[in-house]
Amino acid sequence: MDSLKRSTSPSRGKAGLGTFLKEVRCAVRFPISLPVELTDSPDDTPAVTRNVSANGVLIELKGPLEVGQDITFDLRMPGEVLGTPQDVLVHCRGRVVRCSISQSQYQAAATIDEYQFVGK
């Protein structure tokens, strides 16, 4: 989903040359809110996407996920988004690359390493 690239750039301060992290996007993100079913979660934790790309997803949920954790999840993509007459269930496998808390909700960024269109 997100990758960081280390690069050097002249600094305007007294320190001279500095190193900073630059975010490099591999795919366009779409700000879409979809219900997410974490299929390997022991409880029915409600989750929702905040954005989705071809490579990953940002999920908002009530509890934290571990960075590096493999996850499987299902997304129901609206037909009007995909240009299909019906909604499509997408079964995804990936891994958590970042998890943080924003107000009272956790946000987990995960890759989408594999996906399969399941149907309705």
Measured distance CA(90)–CA(34) in Å, rounded:
12
CATH architecture of 29-119: Beta Barrel (2.40)
Cα angle 85, 40, 114 (rounded to 5 degrees) comes to: 55
What pLDDT digit, counting tens, does each position of 6-18 carry? 333 333 444 444 4
Measured distance CA(70)–CA(51) in Å, rounded:
19
Q: What is the pLDDT of residue 28?
A: 86
3-state secondary structure (DSSP) of residue 81 = helix
What residues does each domain of the chain span?
29-119
Measured distance CA(110)–CA(79) in Å, rounded:
23
| Pairing state between β 105-111 and 114-119 | unpaired
Q: What is the pLDDT of residue 39?
A: 86
What pLDDT digit, counting tens, does each position of 33-58 carry? 999 999 877 666 789 999 999 899 99
